[in-house]
């Protein structure tokens, strides 16, 4: 694994200048890795494209927009108009999820009414609004599938074509209630033939605020970018603030889903999950 990463690191340098994402759309098109850490924060820090081989992506052609229906004529969507009664909009983003040339609006909504601990009583959801040609309408909703109660700014992790097949992978994160650590599961959905499909093996990846995710092209055996998690592993007698070991889990696109394709637990301890991910993606020899 380490030698493969070293090769990737060399390829990165060689390919930095000329590689650009094939993403059909998205608010931040480009191929910079996306890092989401403990507070759901999101950062991009440079192009790490390294794909140089492997299975050729089965690219889906983007059809031209129908006559009289161009993006320029679509008025902006008002996300607040799509919050159901008793909900407020926490975050939203635009992306062409069905590849018809017109962006849809992804709207994250959280329940207003709270319990005695401050957690919303109703489960959060993402609403997808689409332009019909004459009006914005709610297309479908994606409710939290666990006990998660929260949404926030970082809940829409990615709206890009990660596996380079012409279809956007929508990476979403809900939040559970926690005191020192809280559940932060990741879900991946895509629109196929007009319906939202789960796009990660097992329906989602359970993670917590002690863990972190980055999205970067690290393995030429799988098309496009991989989802790379660092999961905190508690050692004997360790306190929360101590350095910990982290398990690195790589999810690559294979047989129509993001599946766990690699897992390793270096003996080195890190101060944070982000530091563990940075060491892995930089090809550090543990
Ligand atoms: Ca569309
Ligand atoms: Ca895709």
pLDDT attached to residue 4 = 44
Q: Using the predicted structure, report yes or no on whether residue 118 has a pLDDT greater than 60.
A: yes
pLDDT average, residue stretch 209-225:
96
pLDDT attached to residue 91 = 98
pLDDT average, residue stretch 236-259:
96
CA of 136 to the centre of ligand 1 (A): 12
CA of 161 to the centre of ligand 1 (A): 13
CB 215 within 8 A of CB 158: yes
pLDDT average, residue stretch 34-44:
43
Which H or E run contains 210?
none
79 or 39: which carries more pLDDT confidence?
79
**Distance, CA of 97 to chain centre:** 14
Q: Using the predicted structure, report yes or no on whether residue 8 has a pLDDT greater than 80.
A: no
Q: What is the pLDDT of residues 205-214, one digit of tens each?
A: 999 999 999 9
CB 109 within 8 A of CB 159: no
pLDDT attached to residue 34 = 54
Q: In this structure, which ligand is nearest to the CA of 159?
A: 2
CA of 104 to the centre of ligand 1 (A): 5
pLDDT attached to residue 194 = 87
Q: In this structure, which ligand is nearest to the CA of 139?
A: 1
pLDDT attached to residue 208 = 96
Q: In this structure, which ligand is nearest to the CA of 225?
A: 2
pLDDT attached to residue 276 = 97
CA of 271 to the centre of ligand 2 (A): 33
- Burial of residue 206, with CB atoms counted within 10 A of its CB: 0-12 exposed, 13-18 middle, 19 or more buried: middle
Q: Can you tell me whether residue 194 is helix, strand or coil? A: coil
- Tokens 């690191």 identify what position? 9
CA distance 198 to 170: 10
Q: Using the predicted structure, report yes or no on whether residue 279 has a pLDDT greater than 90.
A: yes
CA distance 173 to 206: 10
CA of 267 to the centre of ligand 1 (A): 46
CA of 35 to the centre of ligand 2 (A): 18
Q: Using the predicted structure, report yes or no on whether residue 106 has a pLDDT greater than 50.
A: yes
Q: Using the predicted structure, report yes or no on whether residue 264 has a pLDDT greater than 90.
A: yes
78 or 40: which carries more pLDDT confidence?
78
pLDDT attached to residue 184 = 95
Q: Using the predicted structure, report yes or no on whether residue 24 has a pLDDT greater than 80.
A: no
Rounded (5°) CA angle 168-170-173:
165
Q: Using the predicted structure, report yes or no on whether residue 14 has a pLDDT greater than 80.
A: no
pLDDT attached to residue 179 = 86
- Domain ranges, ordered by start, for the chain: 2-55+150-281
pLDDT average, residue stretch 41-47:
36
Q: Using the predicted structure, report yes or no on whether residue 68 has a pLDDT greater than 80.
A: no
CB 87 within 8 A of CB 151: no
**Distance, CA of 52 to chain centre:** 23
CA of 243 to the centre of ligand 2 (A): 36
CA of 97 to the centre of ligand 1 (A): 5
CA of 99 to the centre of ligand 1 (A): 5
CB 241 within 8 A of CB 220: no
Q: What is the pTM of this model?
A: 0.76
Lowest mean pLDDT among 4-8, 96-100, 115-119: 4-8
CA of 256 to the centre of ligand 2 (A): 10
């Amino acid at each position: 694994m380490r030698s493969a990463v070293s090769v990737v690191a060399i390829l990165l340098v060689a390919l930095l200048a000329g590689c650009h994402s094939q993403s059909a759309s998205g608010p931040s098109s480009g191929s910079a890795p996306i890092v989401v850490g403990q507070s759901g924060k999101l950062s991009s820090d440079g192009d790490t494209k390294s794909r140089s081989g492997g299975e050729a992506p089965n690219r889906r052609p983007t059809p031209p927009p129908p006559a009289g229906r161009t993006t320029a004529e679509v008025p902006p969507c008002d996300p607040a108009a799509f919050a159901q009664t008793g909900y407020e909009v926490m975050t939203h983003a635009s992306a062409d999820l069905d590849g018809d040339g017109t962006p849809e609006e992804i709207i994250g909504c959280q329940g207003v009414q709270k319990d005695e601990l401050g957690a919303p009583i109703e489960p959060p959801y993402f609403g997808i609004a689409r332009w019909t040609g004459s009006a914005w309408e709610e297309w479908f909703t994606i409710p939290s599938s666990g006990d998660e109660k929260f949404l926030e700014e970082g809940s829409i992790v990615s709206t890009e074509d990660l596996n380079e097949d012409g279809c956007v992978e929508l990476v979403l994160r809900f939040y559970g209630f926690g005191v020192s650590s809280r559940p932060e599961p990741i879900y991946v959905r895509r629109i196929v033939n007009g319906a939202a499909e789960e796009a990660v093996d097992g329906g989602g990846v359970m993670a917590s605020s002690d863990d972190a995710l980055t999205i970067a092209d690290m393995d030429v055996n799988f098309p496009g970018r991989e989802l790379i998690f660092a999961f905190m592993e508690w050692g004997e007698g360790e306190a929360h603030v101590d350095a910990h070991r982290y398990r690195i889990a790589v999810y690559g696109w294979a047989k129509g889903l993001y599946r766990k394709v690699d897992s390793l637990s270096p003996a080195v301890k890190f101060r944070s999950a982000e530091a563990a991910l940075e060491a892995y993606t930089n090809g550090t020899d543990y």
